[in-house]
Structure 1
Amino acid sequence: MRKLIWAGAIFLGVLLSFLLFFRPEPLAVRKQLEAEAEMHKVKRITPARMQAEVRHIGDSLVLTADSLLHVRLTSVFQAGGLTAALKNYPPQQYPEVRALAQKYGATVVRTAEQAPDTATVETVGQTEILYTKGIFLNQTECLKCHGTVGPEVTEATLTELRRTYPAFKATGFKANAAIGSWQIKVSRPAILESLSRRSRKSLQMPE
């Protein structure tokens, strides 16, 4: 009888130890391990996936900048203020756009180089990928500064433009004409971080 009691006690002790030291991992720990595993996968992504991520980043920045530019220029022109309109230009200086660029580690530039409306993505050097998308005069407000001098761009407007931008010559354009391009560069580390952030977000459990 005593042997049975001792055997039972030993069995219970072993079982208790197992439950204490080999219990299943908490959900939070498992999710963290899954996130870390996903981050390691990101480091082995293909060039095509990196370019797709840069396209996503570029599209987000351009959409944000163009939307804000349209809303703000429409508002200030309706109020009759060219000076105020010039203070709302260029859109890459908007706090919202700069914050988004900082989040993605992107360098955002608008140039006079014309490009297709469809965005292109290409590798530049060893560490960066370049996103390029054409800029078109598809808003009525654009022609007040870039249209034909006289009918659309008044002499007073032209004088103010040249006072603000001494080298300004971007007039004479028609509606929907190409006037320049967005050029957005993103470094490889920033792309990897963006992919990691998206992976971590996808692994989060709903509240």
Structure 2
Amino acid sequence: MRKIIWAAAIFLALLLGFLLFYRPEPLTVRKQLEAEAEMHKVKRITPAQVEAQARHIGDSLVNIADSLLHVRLTAAFEAGGTVAALKNYPPQQYPEVQAIAQKYNITVARTGQKLPVNSPDSAQVKTSGQTEILYTKGVFINQAACLKCHGTVGQEVAPATLAELQQSSPGFKAVGFKANAAIGSWQIKLKRQTILESLSRRSRRSLQMQ
């Protein structure tokens, strides 16, 4: 009987010690672990998000290219005329533009193909096959410097300038345009997988900042 009492006393002492010294996992630590687990989850990315990201990348590239083209052509015409200006063309070859193209693994072209919607803000994004997305945006005569090569011959375009343009680009006929006229389009092909990876990285960074 005495042994049973001693055994019970020891058990109660151990139980009391456990209850006194046991500390449950703090709620803050638990939340941190849950947040980390959530951060590593792959979020479902919707088609609308893919389209918005493609539009954002395309808009960024076009805005940078057009801004640089305007600045460099204006300076070149003032410094050395048409010959100097041609060295700053086409804008898709600028290092700054190529850096964006390489970052997102995209193909950039600026062509004479006009788009059905002739508005300066007529950027379009559509699926091109299973793996690519095509971003298009019109190119317009929206700077005075553009008319020096693409305006009316004998008015904005001097005959000597036209001769230089045709020597540099045999068959050049892109003249006779008025201010704000559509002259071509940007054609930018983006890889769907690259856009998905970009969105996933952005989602993870957003969770890390929470």
Secondary structure of the corresponding residue to residue 175 of structure 1: coil
Tell me how far 1:60 sits from its aligned partner: 1.1
> Could you tell me which residue of structure 1 aligns to residue 105 of structure 2?
105
- Please show how residues 162-201 of structure 1 align to structure 2 within 5 Å: 162-201=166-205
CA distance in 1, matches of 2:165, 2:62: 24
Tell me how far 1:68 sits from its aligned partner: 1.0
> Could you tell me which residue of structure 1 aligns to residue 81 of structure 2?
81
Q: In the alignment, is residue 132 of structure 1 matched against residue 136 of structure 2? A: yes
**Residues 56, 152 of structure 1: alpha-carbon distance in 2 compared, 3 angstrom cutoff:** same
After superposition, what is the alpha-carbon deviation per residue over 1:160-201, rounded to whole angstroms, capped at 9, x for unaligned? 212221231111111111100011111110110121232233
**Residues 31, 61 of structure 1: alpha-carbon distance in 2 compared, 3 angstrom cutoff:** farther
> Could you tell me which residue of structure 2 aligns to residue 47 of structure 1?
47
**Residues 111, 26 of structure 1: alpha-carbon distance in 2 compared, 3 angstrom cutoff:** same
CA distance in 2, matches of 1:199, 1:95: 29
1:196 alignment partner AA: S
1:149 alignment partner AA: V
Tell me how far 1:80 sits from its aligned partner: 3.3
> Could you tell me which residue of structure 1 aligns to residue 56 of structure 2?
56
**RMSD value over aligned CA atoms?**
2.6
**Residues 186, 5 of structure 1: alpha-carbon distance in 2 compared, 3 angstrom cutoff:** same
CA distance in 2, matches of 1:204, 1:24: 15
CA distance in 2, matches of 1:23, 1:52: 36
Secondary structure of the corresponding residue to residue 40 of structure 2: helix
CA distance in 1, matches of 2:36, 2:162: 59
Normalising to structure 2: TM-score of the pair?
Answer: 0.81
CA distance in 2, matches of 1:19, 1:154: 81
2:56 alignment partner AA: H
> Between Structure 1 and Structure 2, how many residues are aligned?
198
2:101 alignment partner AA: A
Secondary structure of the corresponding residue to residue 110 of structure 2: strand
**Residues 143, 32 of structure 1: alpha-carbon distance in 2 compared, 3 angstrom cutoff:** farther
Tell me how far 1:81 sits from its aligned partner: 3.2
**Residues 64, 201 of structure 1: alpha-carbon distance in 2 compared, 3 angstrom cutoff:** farther
| Structure 2 residue corresponding to 1:153, chosen from 154, 157, 161 | 157
**Residues 173, 127 of structure 1: alpha-carbon distance in 2 compared, 3 angstrom cutoff:** same
Q: In the alignment, is residue 119 of structure 1 matched against residue 123 of structure 2? A: yes
**Residues 25, 138 of structure 1: alpha-carbon distance in 2 compared, 3 angstrom cutoff:** same
Tell me how far 1:19 sits from its aligned partner: 5.8
2:87 alignment partner AA: K
Q: In the alignment, is residue 24 of structure 1 matched against residue 29 of structure 2? A: yes
After superposition, what is the alpha-carbon deviation per residue over 1:62-99, rounded to whole angstroms, capped at 9, x for unaligned? 11111111111111112233222111111111111111
After superposition, what is the alpha-carbon deviation per residue over 1:77-123, rounded to whole angstroms, capped at 9, x for unaligned? 12233222111111111111111122222211111111133111111
Tell me how far 1:45 sits from its aligned partner: 2.5
CA distance in 2, matches of 1:98, 1:30: 41
1:54 alignment partner AA: A
1:24 alignment partner AA: V
Segments of 5+ residues of structure 2 without an aligned counterpart are 1-5
